[in-house]
Every structure is written in C-alpha cells, then in structure tokens.
Chain A
Amino acid sequence: DVKVTQSSRYLVKRTGEKVFLECVQDMDHENMFWYRQDPGLGLRLIYFSYDVKMKEKGDIPEGYSVSREKKERFSLILESASTNQTSMYLCASSLESPQEETQYFGPGTRLLVL
C-alpha cells in the first residue's frame, strides 16, 4: 500500500512565524502535491512537483513556497504565517503515468494561526 505521511496532525502557530509542513511518500512516486482544504471550497492546489528540485505553482501559491530536495519528500513553507492560512493542509503523491494519475493522500495537517 502507498503510504503518505505528514509530519504533524495539528499545529498551532503565531502570526509572522515561519512554518514548515513536511510530507514523505514511500512508493517512489514522481509527483507530489500540496493542497489546502477549507469548508465549502473543497481542495485547492497550492504547489506541485514533478521531479526533484522542480516545482510549479498551483491555483493559490501566494504566501507559500515549497522544497523538494529528495524524491520522497516535499515540504510546504509558510514564510510568515497569517491568520487566513488557518486551514487543513493535505499532501498527495502519484505516479508519472498517463494511465495512473490516482493521487494518494496523507492524513492532513490542521494548522491554526493565531
């Protein structure tokens, strides 16, 4: 079974703090994704990566950055956390294959910014 893990289930941070969210997958997937999930808005893509050291902006990249130094690890960084970044953050991974775009999700990190 594919396993996607996220470093924290719950985080509480203060406005202005730098926040790191870590995601690790164990199935050698090329693609990794970061979403935020908000009630009534569904999942919105923040950033994604198709390869090591490669990143592309999703639909809502403002206020976020990412890092992918190793294939299995994809980090989401909030340079200066703000209250409107309070949300559930989901990481996902998938194979690079036209016939297998199924994304596998981690358990999520619920971030509260005070």
Chain B
Amino acid sequence: AQSVSQHNHHVILSEAASLELGCNYSYGGTVNLFWYVQYPGQHLQLLLKYFSGDPLVKGIKGFEAEFIKSKFSFNLRKPSVQWSDTAEYFCAVHPGTASKLTFGTGTRLQVTL
C-alpha cells in the first residue's frame, strides 16, 4: 500500500526565515502530488499540485514545491515565511490510475514575530 511520510511534525520559524517541509511517498508508478494547508479555524484548502510537466510547481501565497522522481519526494518551500503562514500543512499522493488520495500526517508550522 502506498504511504506518505512527513518527517517534520512541528516546525517553528521566525518571520522572514526560509521554509522547507519534507514529503516522501512510497508508490512506484505515476503519481499526482498535492500540498494542502489548514489555517487555524479554516477549511483544508489546496496550496499547490503536480500532475505532469515542469517538476517545479508554484502555488498560492509564494509557495512552491519540487517533484524529484528519483527521490520519491515533493518538498514544499517558501523563501521567506510570514506570521500568516502559521498553519498545518499536509502532503498527499494520488496514483495516476483512479484511486483514493493518501495523506501524510501533517506538519504544524508556527511562525513567530
């Protein structure tokens, strides 16, 4: 069965620091990859997604993620975080064939002023 690993469970950064959140998955075939974000008290929402093409994808609010097929990774990055980025971030994987989405356990990001 496929699995998704997010190794950072809780990350604390100061404003303007750079961010990288790790995501690794265990499926060997074609995959679609997602990062979702849940701001405090809000719905889970899509941050960015990769289906095909350029492995560097850009999402909302200055986030980007790079798909490295050889490493089975899809790490999320932001050059300079803001206090408003405080949220929980979830990586998710969907096989290319129709099937369910598998989520990682999430990373709680806390940005301090």
A44 to B106, CA, bound (A): 12
- Residue A45 interfacial (CB < 8 Å): yes
- A43 and B92 CA atoms in complex are apart in Å by 10
- A45, B44: Cβ atoms under 8 Å? no
Which B residues are CB-close (under 8 A) to A33? 100-101
Knowing A40-B9, A42-B90, A43-B90 touch, does A103 contact B101 (C-beta < 8 A)? Answer: yes
How many chain B residues have a CB neighbour from A under 8 Å? Answer: 23
Residues in A whose Cβ lies below 8 Å from that of B34 = 102
A99 within 8 A of B: yes
In this complex, the interface size class of chain A, counting residues with CB under 8 Å from chain B, is 20 to 34
Contacts of A40 in B (CB 8 A): 9, 105
Q: How far is the CA of A103 from the CA of B49 in the complex (A)?
A: 11
Quick one: closest A residue to B99, CB to CB? Answer: A101
Asked whether, in the complex, the Cβ of B100 is within 8 Å of the Cβ of A42, the reply is no
Within 8 A of A (CB), among B35-94: 36, 42-46, 49, 51, 90, 94
